[in-house]
Amino acid sequence: MAIRDILRIRVLEESAECGVFLVKVQCNEPLLRQFWCCKPPFCNGQVEQADLSLETLTEIKFVLRATHRGPNLPNSHYWGPFVLTLCLDALQFRFQLPSGGVPIQDILEERGELILMR
């Protein structure tokens, strides 16, 4: 399998009460990276994309900020919809979600990263 066929998504959190999340995406598909760079910033009423930067030729860093933090909600409540959006975008470029029916948030929390392949 070529490295171009693997997409890695990692979410970095500071603490359980964190209001800022870093989402790092390792992607060797130039058209998908370009798509994300040209796409309007994410905003769903609770979270907004505060920044996007190209860290390397293959890594993009997204900065998310919780705008309205509710009590007793896990961090995945905030970054989960954004990560799901990344996954849905990747489907258009023939990447596939992991099989097994495990929620994306659970995979990320358990393994520290989500890997999509094509």
Element (DSSP H or E) covering residue 36: helix 30-38
Question: Is the pLDDT confidence value at 1 over 70?
Answer: no
Question: Is the pLDDT confidence value at 30 over 90?
Answer: yes
C-alpha 93/C-alpha 36 separation (Å) is: 12
Domain boundaries, the chain: 3-117
Six-digit token string for 86: 């990344």
User: Does the predicted model carry a pTM greater than 0.85?
Assistant: yes
Q: Which of 61, 44, 43 is nearest to 52 (CA)?
A: 61
Taking phi over 0 as left and psi of -120 to 50 as alpha, with beta for the rest, 72 belongs to left
